[in-house]
Amino acid sequence: MQLITAFDTAFGEFDRLVHEVRDDQWHAATPCADWSVRELVNHLVSEHLWAPHLLGGATLEDVGDRFDGDVLDGDPVLAWERAATASYPAFHREGALRGPVHVTGGEVPAPVYGWQMTADLAVHAWDLARGIEAEVIIPDELARTLHEQAEPEIPADGLPGLFGPPVEVPSSASPQDRLLALLGRRP
């Protein structure tokens, strides 16, 4: 699966779920122990506010702290739509996935950043679905591709602050469950 196709698939699923959140669900718990549904959406909104700047060559210092804290402005769905309206075309811009991107850990190739953002969308779509008791299935091809991309990068203790330690699943587990388990989820 090509990166932009994977991104579009994960993006579409997260977008669909944000629009399914009912007013009484914003404070519901998610599999991310420290985040409610609202806080999870805030995380993704923040990341997608950053994306056009980072894909355009900006450094962390250039962007500064403008996307820190609560970026939902009282309306999580509208905040997501605004961030998505800038982020989605930034990933599709000619040449956007060819250069370097500045991230917290230093400079990475744009495709690495693209795969990280795609995995974040897919896995957090699952987290969001769990929080709002909705159905979500990460398509097998996307789950297998993201697993292949992530597996070499995930140490035995996970990525503290990002993903918990991998959990064991049976060899018969679905591609989705294998991906979720790799990224510290209990499918």
Q: What does the pLDDT look like over 86-95, one tens digit per residue?
A: 999 999 999 9
The average pLDDT across 171-178 equals 96
Q: In whole numbers, what is the pLDDT of the chain averaged over residues?
A: 94
Residue 161 pLDDT class (50, 70, 90 cuts): low
Cα-only R_g, the chain? 16
Output DSSP code: residue 71: -
Amino acid at 132: I
The 10s digit of each residue's pLDDT in 14-26 is 999 999 999 999 9
Domains of the chain, each with CATH number or no CATH: 3-182 (1.20.120.450)
Q: Which whole number is the average pLDDT over 2-9?
A: 97
pLDDT at 149 over 70: yes
What local confidence, expressed as pLDDT, does residue 158 receive?
Answer: 73
Q: Which of 109, 140, 126, 118 lies closest to 6, judged by CA? A: 118
User: Across the chain, how many H-helices and E-strands are there?
Assistant: 7, 2
Of the chain, the end-to-end C-alpha distance in Å amounts to 23
Token couple for 123: 């896995």
Which of 153, 131, 126, 144 is closest to 14 using CA atoms?
Answer: 126
Query: Position 153: which residue type?
Result: E
Torsion of CA 70, 40, 124, 133, to 10 degrees: -150
Buried b (16+ CB within 10 A) or exposed e, 69-92: eebbeeebeebbebbbeebbebbe
Question: Closest by alpha carbon to 48, among 30, 75, 71, 64?
Answer: 71
Per-residue pLDDT at 104: 87
